[in-house]
Amino acid sequence: MQYVSTRGEAPVLGFSDAVLAGLARDGGLYVPREWPQFSAAEIRAMRGLAYPDLAIRVLSPFLGDEIPAPVFERLVREAYATFRHEAVCPLVQTGPNTFILELFHGPTLAFKDVAMQLLARLMDHVLAERDQHATIVGATSGDTGGAAIDAFAGRSRTDIFILFPHGRVSPVQQRQMTTSTAENVHALAIEGNFDDCQGLLKDMFNDHGFRDRVALSGVNSINWARIMAQIVYYFSSALSLGAPDRPVSFTVPTGNFGDIFAGYAAKKMGLPIERLVIATNDNDILARTFATGEYRTKGVFATTSPSMDIQVSSNFERLLFEASDRDAATVRRYMDGLKQSGAFTIEPREIARMRSEFDAGRADMDEVAATIRSTLTASNYLLDPHTAAAVHVAAGRAGAVPMVVLGTAHPAKFPAAVEAASGVSPALPAWLGGLMTSEEKYTVLPSDLKMVEDYVGRRARAAR
Ligand SMILES: Cc1ncc(COP(=O)(O)O)c(C=O)c1O
Ligand SMILES: N[C@@H](CCOP(=O)(O)O)C(=O)O
């Protein structure tokens, strides 16, 4: 399998190089040259597989022959052995034809663990094979950072630097990033919002001198392997509900558009998905884009679902590439517009195509709180605020086709918002007991490319 950049001006890469590259050298995002296909019979034959076996079946076509099958199988099994639920991503029924896909049984209680635990092992394997080291820089609105630190802590071939928006993540999220004692972990509180952190990250990738000097690598969903690993749970949940003989719809709490793009990829691979519903919080750029056809950024608003407080939704670029029949020149034009004026208008044919696959809706903070309350009363189920935004948007959309809402975080990551909404204070699982009392270690930096590059460059062991 080969990987091409959405901007068409970066080298075409094999799987291992695409994993190490993160962002393409032309600023674009890698996607597979073609979508692997599964027939209905092949999907039917996946029924009953344990999650790791399903992951091996669904993901192997993306690897080509670069990672030997027995090695990949071992890495997958090790990755999902870190989860504390036998089903890895269990499906829970909350209404007549509505379900929550619980993606938060990994080490940091968020869906990011599903991909990050595998990505860390894949990267480690590729670096060891090549006898190389890498510097990982990641940007987080709260969950990616903790998941990445957990997955990479103590690994000898990588140093990891996580940029998080100072004062804008939940206390649990912050401590998952700042209490690691591993020497290769560096938590950086940036004076800005998530978009500033992600902007710095992309600028570091586009500074080729710096990028090459520190052997820069990325673990945000700009990295194809993150999206790839997330495809599996669309298959696992749809199979439990009767796929390929029964279609399923999904509603996804959306920020950087990675999780829902994995659903789009699953559909392209043959999974019968009826609708993919984008759920945003008050930062509703994607809902507005689907309504108007214009992608226009405005200031980021701090909400009770902080991980979705995003305006520049990275992976939307992958959808623009698809909707334009993979026309990289069109994607470059859109991205130039975004850089120059913070906006671009999507061609009518392309937005029509997107609307044929996706719906979009928003939930404001009052609606999120009301949904946490009403779901607890009606279904005795305690939602986190991100999942609650999606449950609100999904309401009324389930009909004959089952509606699966992606449960992206455990409520105990956001106890203040959950308690204010429901009166119930969700406790952290016992195995995370020491988190809130451990000593924190992090550095505060301004949102300044040079200062962040200096900081990383002086500490990265891969720096030449
Ligand atoms: C809990 C939670 N829900 C939803 C999202 C949004 O997912 P994505 O950025 O893949 O759209 C995030 C952050 O990415 C998150 O941490
Ligand atoms: N919500 C995310 C933002 C970064 O998303 P990613 O999927 O691109 O890593 C977070 O929690 O950090």
pLDDT the model gives residue 398: 76
pLDDT at 464 over 70: no
C-alpha closest to that of 72 among 125, 13, 1: 125
Instruction: List Cα–Cα distances, 444 to 43, 370, 451, 453, in angstroms.
Output: 49, 35, 11, 14
Average pLDDT over residues 156-161: 96
| Position 399 confidence tier, pLDDT thresholds 50, 70, 90 | confident
Residue nearest atom 15 in ligand 1 by C-alpha distance = 307
Complex ipTM more than 0.85, yes or no? yes
Distance 42 CA to ligand 1 centre (A): 30
Determine whether 112 is an active site residue.
yes
DSSP state, 298? -
pLDDT the model gives residue 456: 98
pLDDT the model gives residue 408: 98
For the Cβ of 386 lying below 6 angstroms from any atom of ligand 1, the answer is yes
Contact 216/209 with Cβ under 8 angstroms?
no
Residue nearest atom 13 in ligand 1 by C-alpha distance = 307
Given the residues 112, 202, 267, 413, the one annotated as active site: 112
Average pLDDT over residues 241-248: 98
| Position 444 confidence tier, pLDDT thresholds 50, 70, 90 | very high
Distance 399 CA to ligand 2 centre (A): 31
CA angle, 409 as apex, 256 and 321 as ends, to 5°?
Answer: 20
Average pLDDT over residues 223-236: 98
Main-chain phi, psi angles of 187, to 5 degrees = -100, 125
pLDDT at 106 over 90: yes
pLDDT at 433 over 90: no
Distance 193 CA to ligand 2 centre (A): 13
Q: Which ligand is nearest to the CA of 278?
A: 1
pLDDT the model gives residue 53: 98
Give percent of the chain with pLDDT exceeding 90.
96
Q: What is the pLDDT of residues 304-322, one digit of tens each?
A: 999 999 999 999 999 999 9
Write the burial class of residue 233 (CB in 10 Å: 0-12 exposed, 13-18 middle, 19+ buried). buried
pLDDT at 289 over 80: yes
Q: What is the pLDDT of residues 9-41, one digit of tens each?
A: 999 999 999 999 999 999 999 999 999 999 999
CB-based contacts of 375, cutoff 8 Å, min separation 6 = 94, 381, 382, 383, 388, 391
What is the distance of C-alpha 305 from the center of its chain? Answer: 15
For the Cβ of 143 lying below 6 angstroms from any atom of ligand 1, the answer is yes
Average pLDDT over residues 231-239: 98
Give percent of the chain with pLDDT exceeding 70.
100
pLDDT at 179 over 80: yes
